[in-house]
Structure 1
């Protein structure tokens, strides 16, 4: 069954007359087409009943065909009104669902073109599908994780005292591409006090002897699936006071979370078992983010591993497990693996050293 067929069935169950999906991860997931997000409308229409079709500007039709889009492609000219065209094809739907990332200008234009139609979000339908990976998606995530592991394995080539975070980050970005990714999605090199900011990325700070360094990196492979892994390094010398003790607790917390995560447990319980260990060691207030996020055609997607999410994990769900601690002005650390629920347990996709790696 095609992915759009599964989406169609879920839409019908949800009493949605049509799903409307514009360029982005959802469109690529449903059709394989990584359409450009132009000012000209491209929109996949998946009716609850009947065949889907893709509305696209004529100058993009050949690109859609080359991407293997296997639904009818309805082209439009520069002087056409694509929203009127779309509305004429849909007729008089009672309720449509638009993708969560659709531009506001498109949402409002659709409202004008279909004034009697209720609008809702397509996210609940599409995230249900995307959160449950099939065998091909799991293999794509394995390949992405192996590629980012190869980058971490080379860190000694670039990370050393006397270099700036920006210099190290540029080398890492090149390696992400060299090791098999199509795009670099992010490079975080947080040295010393900068490691206390989870999303620091890079700066012109010079790495010093004895600096703990958080390296969180990820990219997208040619088939459209993402990698994401965080490891921790010491730039020679001695670690700051208190860091090694805190890191030892973090290792235990992440290991316990990996052991706990499996089909049948809730997403929030995975967060809780690790957070409890950090809290008992006096580090609870320094763990300032959720334990994890789903991953697939986007780095962050369902399911989110966080307190309050009582979703029961199922086979095929892929997510990060990444507890951390962040002491402002001093240092931080985060250990992150991507994992997939199997029929009876958990497959962890990243295999590089989780222990603090000391680079001489």
Structure 2
């Protein structure tokens, strides 16, 4: 239980409160040891099979002869193949081609073929033909044509369907494929619609990523003392994720005190003062490639909140609890918007525009905006098997920001929270 404290911007007293509820998320083997996943290999094998079949099923529904993937998140989803993911997000050096009536082929960065050993969904591995300027330079045009010829030959030799779904491709590559008679469709939409419905095995993998994230949050909580910098606290989440088999953090959203408002400032060397609010958004791509996207806010030194901090925090909790409670399968996006929590006018200039978003191997479709920003033409429905994140950011003129977020599975009965890291008691 948080101790009572005087209502001031700089709460007095030096007693450090450690919340046993949060300490419980640290590794029971000791904070000096990484977490070891208990998920059996059979779970991962079933998830891999399910994901590739989801893509193939969606390809058939879209009448596509092939799916060409460059986005490393989509490649991970299709094959569970991960190699230099951040680097290949901005260097198109590896790709995948899934044929509707043929093999699933991974074009791997030359010399790295062995990183895919044991991945049963890959029928063939070929060396990637890279035509990006970084490696091709003045040879870019000839390498581009060789790349396009190989893709065209593979698609043509496995059926007459010349509709190719592509998730991400430079204009020159799209031009070359169109020159060879192919119709290109939006492969990112195809992939995200396939990814939006999770299997039970995927949820088990995601639960483990959340477990690792919450252990990182517990480390952050322990470090949230006055005199620390924002970066020092943020590093604890990186550390726990990396040593427990995770991947990366998508953002650097941890700030304290006056730097919480406006939101979206990145963590810095700002030295945090006692009683200031520390607010963060994990955006963590963790073990098995799944995302744990959780937000919490607490005071530096773990002292009681001021009256204003309590007011803002209570509003953020109201938004989370209300929107979580109304979620159910079959609800349209417009129906959710109509029934969603109404943000008071004084908080609206500082609002977070998203009310909900999908989550899988990253933030994904659907991104449903807060009611002042919602477009009535945005169509779709919440479906069983989706994982949705419920968001809140509450601030007003001159105040700090409270950032809260929870991750929930949509079941036949409604929303089931996947994270359990405690809220602050006010």
Q: 1:225 aligns with which of 279, 290, 310?
A: 290
Match of 1:330? Answer: 399
Q: Does 2:299 match 1:251?
A: no
Contact map agreement 1:148 1:218 (CA 8 A) in 2: no
| Residue among 170, 177, 181 paired with 1:110 | 177
Distance of 2:270 and 2:281 partners within structure 1:
17
Pairwise CA distance, 1:103: 4.0
Paired with 1:72 and 1:13, the residues of 2 have a C-alpha distance of 25
Q: Considering only aligned residues, what root-mean-square deviation do their CA atoms show, in Å?
A: 2.9
Give secondary structure in 1 for the equivalent of 2:401: strand
Cα 1:187–1:288, aligned 2, differ >3 Å: closer, same or farther? closer
Q: How many corresponding residue pairs?
A: 351
1:62 pairs, out of 101, 107, 114, with 114
The alignment status of 1:294 with 2:346, answered yes or no, reads: no
3-state SS, counterpart of residue 49 of structure 1: coil
Residue correspondence of structure 1 range 12-161 to structure 2 within 5 A: 12-36=60-84, 37=88, 41-56=93-108, 58-75=110-127, 81-91=146-156, 94-99=162-167, 101-112=168-179, 114=180, 116-161=181-226
The 1:322/1:235 distance shift into structure 2, 3 A limit, reads: same
Which stretch shifts more, 132-141 or 116-125? 116-125
Report if aligned partners of 1:193, 1:330 keep a CA contact under 8 Å in 2.
yes
Question: CA offset at residue 23 of structure 1?
Answer: 4.6
Give the structure 2 partner of residue 352 of structure 1: 421
Q: For the residues of structure 1 that align with 2:108 and 2:277, how far apart are their CA atoms?
A: 50
CA separation of 1:2 and 1:254: change in aligned 2, threshold 3 A:
closer
2: CA distance between counterparts of 1:181 and 1:305? 28
Q: Does 1:181 align with 2:237?
A: no
Alpha-carbon distance in 2 for matches of 1:255, 1:169: 27
Matches within 5 A, 1:180-219: 181-219=246-284
Superposition deviation, residue 34 in structure 1 = 1.7
Unaligned runs of 5+ in 1: none
Segments of 5+ residues of structure 2 without an aligned counterpart are: 1-48, 131-141
Change (3 A) 1:313 1:77: closer
Moved more, 347-356 or 32-41: 32-41
